[in-house]
Structure 1
Amino acid sequence: MRPDNSNEHNRSQQRPSTNGSSHNGSSPQTNGSVKSETNGYHTNGHSEGAVAVRNKEPFFGHDREEVTRILLQSLSDLGYQGAAQQLSKESGYELEIPSVAAFRNAVLNGEWEEAESLLFGNSAEELDGGGVPVGNGHSNSLSWRKSGEGRNSFGSQNGYARNGLPLAEGADTTYLKFVLRQQKYLELLEQRDLNAALTVLRTQLTPLKGDVGRLHFLSSLVMCPTESDLRTQADWDGVEGQSRHLLLSDISRSISPSVMIPEHRLATLLSSVQEEQILNCRYHNTTLQPSLYTDHECPADDFPLNTLLELRNHSDEVWFLEFSHDGSMLATAGKDGLVCVYDTTRWRLKHEFREHERSPLASGSSSAGAPENRGVCYVAFSPDDQYLISCSQNNEFVVVNVKSGQRVATADHFDYPVTTAAWLPDSETFVVGAQGSRRPLGLYSLRSPSSSSGSSIVRNNEIHSWRDPPWDHSLKDQQPNSFRITDCSVNTAGTRMVATTIDNRIMLYSLEPAARYCKLADWAMEDKLTSINFSADGDLLLVNMNEGRVLALDSETGELVCRYDGASQKEFVIRSNFGGAGQSFVISGSEDSRVYIWRRQTGAQVAALDAHHPGTVNAVAWQPTNAGIFASAGDDRRVRIWASATASRRPQSAEASGGAPRPLSGGEGGRYLSFGAR
C-alpha cells in the first residue's frame, strides 16, 4: 500500500529504606543511647574485645574489604543477622561506621536535628542561617549531646562528627537539607502542630532559597483540614508509612559508598550481570531471569524463526493485521476490502467481514468509485476485545461487535481515505485519522448522542476534532488547509496520543479533557512517516520512515533513543511493532520481502527472515500473550504465523472436511495450514 494512496531490574522487593539490611544489625529501640552509638557495628560481634586480624589479600582480583562489606550487607538483607555478625567477627570488617548507623537511626526515628548534625557536621546550622531547633514530638537529642560534653564528645564516631559524613561526588547539600527539613515540616503538619511547622517553613526551608514553587506548595498544605487530606495532597504516606524509609534511601545515594554502601548492592550487581547476559543473548525471549549458576544463552530453536501456518483467505495484498489483547484472535485486512478474524487456538476463521463493500466508493457507483477503493488500511481491537474498528480507502470507518458480527458504529463524512485508529482504555471512545484536510483527526464515541435504543448503529459521532485551524462553518470552499494523518497511537494509560502527518511531522497531544486535548509537542522529521506506536510503558515511540529508517524516540522529548538498521522502505507503507517477552524486540516489515527483528535495547539485529517473496512485507504483529508467536502480512496475499522450531515440529491437528484447516507441505521447517485457498 502506498503512503500517499496515489494508486491505492528486577530490583529487590525488600524495603529500600533499610539500605541493605532490615536494621543492619541495629536495634532502633536504643535510639541514640550510649549503647546505640555502636548500633551493632562498632563492636559488631566483638563483644569479648578480641580483634580479628584483617586479611587484605585481593579476592580474585577484587578488594577484599569491599567484597566482605557487601557480603555483610547481603546477609543482613537475607535476614541472616547471626551469620553477618559471625562474618564481621572473623573478618574484622564492619558494615558501617558508627556515625552512619547513628544517622540511619536518627532519620528512621525522626531525630531531625541529630540527622543534620551527623550528615553535615558540627557547623550544619551555620551553613544556611537556618537550623533553628523545633520540637516535633521526639526527644531531639542523642546521648552525646545530653552528656554535657558537647559535640566534641562525638569523637568516637570515626572522626566524622566535625565535618559530617563524606558525600558522594556531585552531591547537592542544599537538596539534602531541603528533603530532611521538608520531612520534618510534613510530620509537624500531620501532628497538627501548625506553629512549629510554620517556624520550620520560615526559618529552615525558606533560607535554603530552593524551588519557590515547591515552597509555595508546601505552605499551601497548612490549609489541609485533616491528616488524610494532607497525605493525599502531598503524595506522602506519613510517619506510619514508608516516608522515612524512602527519605533515607534517597539521601543514601548522596553519601559516599566508602562509608554507606548503596542499598542492596549485591542484588544490584547480580541484576547487572543478568541484564548484560540477556542483552548479549541473541534469542532471549522470556521475562524469566537467567540462572546465576551458569553463563546464559538461549538456543535458536526456542525463538520464532519458522513458519508454523499460512493463512490464505485474502484474494489480494494483505496490508495490516493485529492480535486481540488477550491473544485469542487475529484480525487481518487488505486491498480486497476483506477483514478476517481468526481464532488463534486452532487458527480457524471466526468472522469474515465485508462491511466496506456497502460503500458507493467501493461498489463503483459514483464517478470516483472503483473496486480498488474498498481496500482496508487498518484494523484495531478495543481494549476489552469486544469491538473491532476497520478503516478503509472508501473514506469511512466501521466498528463491529466481534462476538455477534454486527455493525455498531460507522462514519462516512470523510473526503479522503481513513488511514488509522486507536482506542482509549474505556473501549468506548477512539481516535480516527484520515488523509483529508476537513476531518484529519477526531475523537469518536460508540455512545449514541440521542436517546435511541442501544441496538441502533451510531453514525458520524465525532465528539472532538483536532483540525488546525478548526473548521469554519461560515466558509464554504475557502477553508485553510490542515495537517493530514498517516498513523496515530494512544498510550496504554489513555493520557497521550501521537500522530504522524503527510508533511513529515509527529504531533503529541494530551487526551485529558481538562487540558482541552491540547497539543504538547510538534516534531519535524526528515522523511515520510508511515507508522508510529507507543511502547507498553509509554516511554518510547517506534517510528517507520522512508529510506528504511526504524527509530525509537523518547515520547516526551522526541529525541532519538535507538536506531534499527537493515529494513528497506522507499515508496510503500511499512509498519513496525514492539514485541516479544517484555517487549524486548522491535519487528518490522520491509520492501525486500523480509521480516526484520532487532533487540529493542541495543538495536542489534536478531533475524532477517525471508517471508513474502517477491512482494513487500506490509505489517507485522507479535502475539501479546505468547512471546513465541508473531504474524506477518504481505503482498503475496498471505498471512504467515511464525513460531519456534520446537513448536513447528509439534503435529498440527486438522480435520479433513467441514471447512477445517488442511495440512500443506513446504515452509521453512514448519507446516502450512491453508484457509480458503484460492
Structure 2
Amino acid sequence: MTSRKAPQAEAGRPESPEALLLRAKRPRLLDRTNSMTHGSDPSARHNGQSPGIKVARGDPAAAAATRSTAPLGRRGMVDRTQYVRLLEQALSALGFADVAEQLELASGIANQPPQVNQLQRAVLAGDWATATQQLGLLGLQGSHTLQEAKFIILEQAYVEALQAGDSAAALGCLREQLAPLGVHPERLHLLAARLMGSRHNHSSSSSSSSSSGSGNSGGAAVTQADLAADSGRVEAEGAADPGEPGEARRRVLRRLQSVIPAEAMLPERRLEELVEQALLAQVGACRFHNTPGIRPSLLRDYACGTEQIPTCTTQVLLDHSDEVWHLQFSHDGSMLASCGKDQTAILWEVRSSSSSSSSSSGDGGSGSDSGSGDGDRGEGGAADRGGAAAGAPRVGRTVVKRHVLRGHRGPIAFLCWSPDDSKLATCGQDALRLWDTATGSCLAVFLHHKEPVTCAAWFPDGQRLVTGSHDKQLCIVDLDGTVERQWRIQRTQEVLVAKGGRYILATTCERKVRVYDLQAETEACIPEAEPLISMSLSRDGRYLLVNLTSNSMHLWDCGSDPGELHMPAMPAATFKGPSDKQSRFVVRSCLGGLDDRFVLTGSEECRVYVYHRQSGERLLSLEGHSGTVNSVAWNPTDPHMFASASDDKSIHIWQTPPAAAASGPAASGDGVVLLLEGSATQ
C-alpha cells in the first residue's frame, strides 16, 4: 500500500544537513484563499489546515474560541486586538503584504474596516466621488466631523481641477460641494482667489499649446504650495512636485487621520511611532545621555554611563603666566578664547585630531603675538607652545594657540565673541578693546567708562554691545564708540542680551536680576534670596543660570518664546552640593552638552562639577586643577568637549574617554601636557 507520508531517509542513514535545512527553512503559511473578508469556509477549501486555527466568518463562536482576548504585556496594558492591527499595518508598510494578510487570516482581526480601505484607494486614485461616498459609510460621530473630512477631500479635488486647467470643474466643486459644507470660510476665499489667478494666467498666456501648458502649470504650482502651507501639513521632507499628485494625495490621507477616529483609520506607521516614543523616553530618562543622533537598540533598554561625558583631561594649556579668570568658546566651536590676571587674552584654535596630526610640524610658526600699545601686531610671532608634538597620541580634538592679544594695561576680567565670531571684545581695568579674531589685531579701544569694565554682551546684529562697569553706568555702545544709551545702576557684575536683543539682563551687588525691556521701555526684576556673582544663558535663550554667593546656582525658565521673556516666579531648579561653601571669588558657570542637558561649574575646591539640568542632581566631580576653578565653557558644537580655567594658571581641556588609553601622559610642546586618564568621582 502506498504511503501518504513524506519519504523518510533510508534505515540506518541519517538525513544530510542540507536536507534538514531545506525542511526547516520555511514555516508553512495558511492558504491565501482562506479569506474571512470574502466569507469563505477554510475547512471546505483546505483540508490540511494548521491545528488551532479554525476561523470562519460564519462561526463567531469558533473564532472566539481560537483567539485569546487577554491583554498583552507584563502589566496587561496592551490591547491584543489593537496590537495585531498595528502588526498588520507595520508588515504592510515594510513590504510584507502577503505576511500581513496571513496574520489577518490567522487572527481573524482586520487591519481596518473595508470602507476605510476603499476610501484610501479612492483618494490615491483621485476618485473623489467614491471617496466622499465611503466617508458617509464610516458612521462618523457628529456632522461637523463629516464636513471636515469632506472638505479635506474636495479641496484636493478642486486643486487638481485647477492643475488640469479645468476652471469650470473647479468652479463647480467650489460652489456646489465645498461652499455648502459651511466650514473654513477663510479657506474658501483663498481657493476662490486662486481660481481667479488661474483664469488670469490662462487668459494672458499665448495661444500656442506649449505656452498655455506652461501658464497652467505655474498657476497650479502656486496653488498647491499655498494650500499646503496654509493647512500646516507641509511634511519635513518638503513639498512634492505639484505636477505629481501622488504625494499631495498622500498628504490628504494624513490630514484625514486627524479627523477620522483612530479606531477606524489607523494613523500612519503607528507602531513605528510608538517604538520611537519608547526609545525617546528611555533616552530622556538616562542621566548621562550626551551623544547626538544615537540609535538605541530595540533589544535592551537604553542606558549609558559617564563614557558620554567629558571626564578625561586630554590637554593642559600653560601659556598664561598668571591666574586665568575667564574663557569662552566661539559660537561655531572652532575657537577658544581665554584671559586673566596676566593682562593678555589668548585665541586658541580647536582642531580635529586628523588636522592636528597633518599640520603638527608647522604649528610652531602659525601662532602670532599681538604687540603692545593699542594692539599693533608683532611680526614673526612667538612659537605655538599650545600645538601638539609630532607623534604624540591624539584624543578627539586638539587645541592649539593662534594669537596672543596684548595691549591692556591691567588684568582682563571678561571676554565675549561677536555673533559671527569675527570679533572678540575684552573687558579690562583700563578699557574695552575690540579684536579681529582672524589676525589678532586690535580694531578699537573704547574709553566710555571711567572705571574698570567688568562685562559686555553683543546684540544679535553684531553692531552694538552693552557694557557694564564699576562706574555704575550701563551703556549701549556702537562699534564706532558712540554711546547710544546709558542707565545709572549699581556696580555691574554681569550683563546679557536676551530674546533677540529685546531685553538686557544685568546683575549688581543687589539680590535681583534687573531686566530692561528695550521695546516696551520698562524695567523689571527677577528677585533672588542672595547676592548674585555671575549668570549665563542657554543657547536657545530659554534658561537663565545664576551663581549666588553661597556657591549654589538657580536655574530660571524664561519661556520658550523667542521674542518675549517670561518673568518666572520661582527657580526651575537649584544646584548645590554637600561640600559647597561661601564663595569669595567670581565663579562663572554654564549650561552645555547635548541640548544643554547639563550644568557645568567650577569651585573653590579646585574641582569641576557636572549637574543634570532637569533633576538638579550632581553627576560628577572632576579633579585635576590645583587652584580655584574660575570659569568653565562647554563647546557649543561638540558635546564631548569642555574647558576649565583656574587660578593655577592653567586651562584644562576635557573630553570623553578615549577608546584605548595609553599607559601615561605624553608631552606636547612647552606649555601643553596631553593626558589620557583624568580623575572623576561620582
- Pairwise TM-score range, normalised by the shorter structure: 0.5 to 0.7
Which aligned pairs between 1:463-478 and structure 2 lie closer than 5 A?
A: 467=485
Counterpart position of 1:525: 526
**Equivalent of 1:407, from 442, 446, 450?**
442
Which aligned pairs between 1:327-342 and structure 2 lie closer than 5 A?
A: 327-342=333-348
**Equivalent of 2:67, from 29, 32, 55?**
55
Bigger Cα displacement from structure 2, 541-550 vs 564-573: 564-573
Answer whether contact 1:381 1:387 (CA < 8 A) is retained: yes
Q: Aligned partners of 1:172, 1:636: CA distance in 2, in Å?
A: 70
Q: Aligned partners of 1:111, 1:410: CA distance in 2, in Å?
A: 73
Which aligned pairs between 1:237-636 and structure 2 lie closer than 5 A?
A: 237=239, 238=242, 240=244, 242-287=247-292, 288-324=294-330, 327-345=333-351, 351=367, 358=374, 374-380=411-417, 383=420, 387-402=423-438, 404-408=439-443, 411-413=446-448, 417=453, 419-422=455-458, 429-435=462-468, 440-441=475-476, 444=479, 459-460=480-481, 467=485, 486-488=494-496, 499-502=504-507, 504-506=513-515, 524-527=525-528, 530-535=534-539, 538=540, 540-544=542-546, 546=548, 548-556=553-561, 558=565, 563=573, 565-566=575-576, 574-581=587-594, 583-589=596-602, 594-600=607-613, 603-609=616-622, 615=628, 617-624=629-636, 626-636=638-648
Secondary structure class of the residue paired with 2:652: strand
1:70-93 residue CA offsets vs partner (Å, 9 max, x unmatched): 111111221222221222222222
**Residue type matched to 1:293 in 2?**
L
Q: Aligned partners of 2:576, 2:39: CA distance in 1, in Å?
A: 59
1:464-520 residue CA offsets vs partner (Å, 9 max, x unmatched): x6x4xxx8xxxxxxx9989989443678xxx677642347245688xxxxxxxx679
Percent identical: 27
Q: Aligned partners of 2:296, 2:642: CA distance in 1, in Å?
A: 23
Counterpart position of 2:32: none
Q: Aligned partners of 2:188, 2:267: CA distance in 1, in Å?
A: 30
Q: Aligned partners of 1:570, 1:96: CA distance in 2, in Å?
A: 66
C-alpha change, 1:562 and 1:220, in structure 2 (3 Å) is farther
C-alpha change, 1:565 and 1:386, in structure 2 (3 Å) is same
Q: Aligned partners of 1:611, 1:223: CA distance in 2, in Å?
A: 73
Bigger Cα displacement from structure 2, 635-644 vs 345-354: 345-354
Answer whether contact 1:621 1:631 (CA < 8 A) is retained: yes
C-alpha change, 1:211 and 1:177, in structure 2 (3 Å) is same
Aligned-pair distance for 1:398?
Answer: 0.9
Aligned-pair distance for 1:641?
Answer: 1.9
1:208-243 residue CA offsets vs partner (Å, 9 max, x unmatched): 777777666666555656334445555644463644
Q: Which runs of 5+ in 1 are unaligned?
A: 1-39, 122-159, 360-369, 445-458, 472-478, 510-517, 671-678
Answer whether contact 2:336 2:348 (CA < 8 A) is retained: yes
- Number of matched residues? 531
**Residue type matched to 1:434 in 2?**
T
Answer whether contact 2:410 2:429 (CA < 8 A) is retained: yes
Answer whether contact 2:112 2:265 (CA < 8 A) is retained: yes
Counterpart position of 1:127: none
Answer whether contact 2:344 2:408 (CA < 8 A) is retained: no
Aligned-pair distance for 1:99?
Answer: 1.7
- 1:98 paired with 2:114, answer yes
Normalized per residue, which structure has more helix? Answer: 2
Secondary structure class of the residue paired with 1:440: strand
Counterpart position of 1:659: 670
Q: Aligned partners of 1:621, 1:310: CA distance in 2, in Å?
A: 15
Secondary structure class of the residue paired with 2:261: coil
More RCO (CA 8 Å, sep 6+):
1
Answer whether contact 2:313 2:676 (CA < 8 A) is retained: no
Answer whether contact 2:279 2:296 (CA < 8 A) is retained: yes
1:376-432 residue CA offsets vs partner (Å, 9 max, x unmatched): 41232664x655443445442312233x333345554456737234485xxx94552
C-alpha change, 1:611 and 1:663, in structure 2 (3 Å) is closer
C-alpha change, 1:566 and 1:334, in structure 2 (3 Å) is same
Q: Aligned partners of 1:102, 1:196: CA distance in 2, in Å?
A: 24
Aligned-pair distance for 1:605?
Answer: 3.9
Q: Aligned partners of 1:46, 1:542: CA distance in 2, in Å?
A: 69
Secondary structure class of the residue paired with 1:525: strand
Answer whether contact 1:337 1:357 (CA < 8 A) is retained: no
Answer whether contact 1:307 1:669 (CA < 8 A) is retained: no
Counterpart position of 1:15: none
Q: Aligned partners of 2:317, 2:252: CA distance in 1, in Å?
A: 57
Q: Aligned partners of 1:41, 1:598: CA distance in 2, in Å?
A: 59
Q: TM-score, normalised by structure 1?
A: 0.63
Q: Which runs of 5+ in 2 are unaligned?
A: 1-34, 47-54, 57-62, 202-218, 230-238, 376-406
**Residue type matched to 1:407 in 2?**
C
Counterpart position of 1:86: 102
Aligned-pair distance for 1:202?
Answer: 7.2
**Residue type matched to 1:271 in 2?**
E
C-alpha change, 1:603 and 1:212, in structure 2 (3 Å) is farther
Aligned-pair distance for 1:549?
Answer: 0.2
**Residue type matched to 2:672 in 1?**
P
Answer whether contact 2:459 2:501 (CA < 8 A) is retained: no
Q: Aligned partners of 1:100, 1:663: CA distance in 2, in Å?
A: 65
Tell which structure's C-alpha radius of gyration is larger.
2
Secondary structure class of the residue paired with 2:436: strand
Answer whether contact 1:564 1:598 (CA < 8 A) is retained: no
C-alpha change, 1:205 and 1:63, in structure 2 (3 Å) is same
Q: Aligned partners of 2:220, 2:521: CA distance in 1, in Å?
A: 35
Answer whether contact 2:664 2:676 (CA < 8 A) is retained: no
Q: Aligned partners of 2:625, 2:642: CA distance in 1, in Å?
A: 14
C-alpha change, 1:330 and 1:480, in structure 2 (3 Å) is closer
Answer whether contact 1:566 1:596 (CA < 8 A) is retained: no
- CA RMSD, Structure 1 to Structure 2 (Å): 5.0
Aligned-pair distance for 1:290?
Answer: 1.8
- 1:70 paired with 2:90, answer no
Answer whether contact 2:644 2:652 (CA < 8 A) is retained: yes
Q: Aligned partners of 1:410, 1:222: CA distance in 2, in Å?
A: 62
**Residue type matched to 1:563 in 2?**
A
Answer whether contact 1:489 1:534 (CA < 8 A) is retained: no
**Residue type matched to 2:537 in 1?**
N
1:143-175 residue CA offsets vs partner (Å, 9 max, x unmatched): xxxxxxxxxxxxxxxxx44x32799xxx97776
C-alpha change, 1:520 and 1:597, in structure 2 (3 Å) is farther
C-alpha change, 1:540 and 1:99, in structure 2 (3 Å) is farther
Secondary structure class of the residue paired with 1:297: coil
Aligned-pair distance for 1:43?
Answer: 5.1
Secondary structure class of the residue paired with 1:271: helix
